[in-house]
Amino acid sequence: MVVGVGAAGLGLKAALGALMKAVGTKAAGKAAATSVIRPALQNVGRAAGQRMLQAGLTKGEIARSLGYDAAFSTLYGLTMPGDLADKGIQLGSDTMLSVLPGLGGRFALGKRAINPKTGRLSALATTGEILGPASAFTLGQPMITNPILRAKDSLGGGLGETPYERMDRQYYEQLLAQLQQKYPGMTMQDLMGCLLYTSPSPRD
C-alpha cells in the first residue's frame, strides 16, 4: 500500500515500473496498471462528459445529428451506381464525414458552442457545423471513401474502380464499340482525342 501511494504521484510509466520492481511479479504489475489507469480513464470520461454537456451535446442532439446526416447520405447512396456493398460503404462514410466534424467542432469549443444569452448554438459553432462537414466530405471522398471502394472492387475481382469510374469506363467502351462498326481501326485513345477536341464535356 505504501508503494502504491508513492507511485500514484509519479508519471504512469514510472509508477508502473516502480510497482513492478517493488513487487517483482507480472501479476502484481497488471494489478498496479489497473489501479493507475482505471481512475485516469474515469477522470477523462467525466471531463469529456462535462464538456459535451457544456457544448449542448446531449444524447438527443447527437441522435438528431446522426439521423439528419444519415437521411441525406441515404438519398445519395441510393442514387449512386454500384451494388449494395458500394452503397453501404458510401452511406457509412458520408454519415461519419458529415457528423464527426460538426460534433467534434462543438466538443472542441465546449461552452463557447452555446450562446449564453439565447441558449442556442453560437455563431462560431454554427459556422463550424456548416464548414466542417463540407470540408470533410470534399477531402474525405477522394482520400477515404474512394480508396475503400476501389479496394472492395479489387477484392471482388474488378479493376479497382469506384462505381462512378466503372460506369464511365463501361460508357466509353460501349461508345467505342458502336463507333468501331463504322471506323474499324478506331482505338480508345482515338476516341478520347476526338472527344477532347470536339466537345466541352466528354459526355456530350
Looking at residue 69, its pLDDT comes to 82
- pTM for the model: 0.65
Transcribe the chain into DSSP letters.
-HHHHHHHTS-HHHHHHHHHHHH--HHHHHHHHHHHHHHHHHHHHHHHHHHHHHTT--HHHHHHHHHHHHHHHHHHHHHSSS-HHHHHHHHHHHHHHHHHHHHHHHHHHGGGGB-TTTSSB-HHHHHHHHHHHHHHHHHHIIIIIHHHHHHHHHHTTS-S--HHHHHHHHHHHHHHHHHHTTSTT--HHHHHHHHHHH-SSTT-
pLDDT (tens digit, 0 to 9) for every residue of the chain, 204 residues total? 444 444 444 454 565 565 556 555 555 556 655 666 677 667 778 888 888 888 888 888 889 888 888 888 888 888 899 999 999 999 888 888 888 888 888 888 888 889 988 888 899 888 888 887 788 778 888 999 999 999 999 999 999 999 999 999 999 899 889 888 988 888 888 888 777 666 555 454
Domain boundaries, the chain: 1-54, 56-158, 163-198
Looking at residue 10, its pLDDT comes to 45
